[in-house]
């Protein structure tokens, strides 16, 4: 079966409206052959090109009378994976998730191991900000979320209430993982001091 035939058969079983990378078909043929097959499927309407190297099966909405667009954040995640990037929650969003802020990001912004840039999908925009590897430790976990929040608040902006709230939300194992992370001296001292206070309070109780 041709490269186009194999890809066409595979996409029939893929979820409509869910973006995917062309690398999903790397085992089918050469990059050139795969790209030509995908372009042919786009022209025939079987696929929609969402971004360079990113496609999806069209999902039509009877209510809106048009094809639905995929979530910009989901597309961003596919692009990041395609580029081999590590993506983390931005500090402002991490602070909000810990209940220390109610401010929502106007433009969804994430930390990345790649280059800083903006990704545009129609009218939607997702911003990626390059940070050091230290800020991308334990991404996707509460440990990584805590680390992102602490870095964002900074030495001068971190209050006792904020550090207590963040540390208090972590389990003992998560707290141990956080302490083992690479971090500035001031941050480690704050965490260890708060941990000691927390343990003392538990002992008294």
Domains annotated on the chain, with CATH: 3-67 (1.10.10.10), 72-204 (no CATH)
Residue 88 C-beta-side C-alpha neighbours within 13 Å: 31
User: What torsion do the CA atoms of 175, 178, 179, 181 make, to the nearest 10 degrees?
Assistant: 160
- Give the pLDDT band of residue 179 (cuts 50, 70, 90): very high
Which of 200, 51, 61 has the alpha carbon at shortest distance from 121?
51
Q: Is the pLDDT of residue 200 over 60?
A: no
The pLDDT tens digits for 67-93 are: 778 888 899 999 998 899 999 999 999
Question: For residue 81, is it left (φ>0), alpha (ψ between -120 and 50) or beta?
Answer: alpha
Neighbours of 164 (CB within 10 A): 13
The pLDDT tens digits for 118-137 are: 998 878 899 999 999 999 99
Q: What predicted TM-score, i.e. pTM, was given to this entire model? A: 0.82
């Amino acid at each position: 079966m041709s490269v186009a035939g194999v890809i066409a058969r595979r996409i029939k079983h893929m979820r409509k409206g869910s973006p995917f990378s062309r690398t999903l078909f790397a085992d089918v043929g050469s990059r050139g052959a795969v790209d030509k097959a995908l372009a042919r499927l786009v022209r025939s309407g079987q696929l929609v090109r969402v971004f360079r190297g990113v496609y999806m099966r069209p999902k039509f909405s009877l209510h809106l009378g048009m094809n639905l667009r995929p979530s910009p954040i989901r597309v961003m995640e596919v692009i990041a994976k395609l580029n081999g990037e590590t993506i983390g929650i931005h500090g402002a969003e991490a602070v909000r998730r810990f209940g220390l802020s109610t401010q929502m990001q106007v433009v969804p912004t994430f930390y990345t191991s790649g280059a800083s840039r903006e990704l545009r999908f129609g009218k939607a925009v997702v911003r990626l900000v390059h940070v050091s590897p230290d800020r991308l430790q334990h991404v996707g976990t509460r440990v990584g979320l805590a680390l992102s929040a602490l870095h964002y608040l900074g030495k001068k902006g971190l209050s006792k209430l904020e550090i207590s709230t963040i540390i208090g939300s972590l389990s003992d194992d998560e707290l141990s993982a956080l302490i083992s992370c690479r971090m500035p001296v001031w941050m480690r001292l704050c965490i260890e001091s708060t941990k000691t206070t927390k343990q003392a309070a538990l002992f008294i109780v």
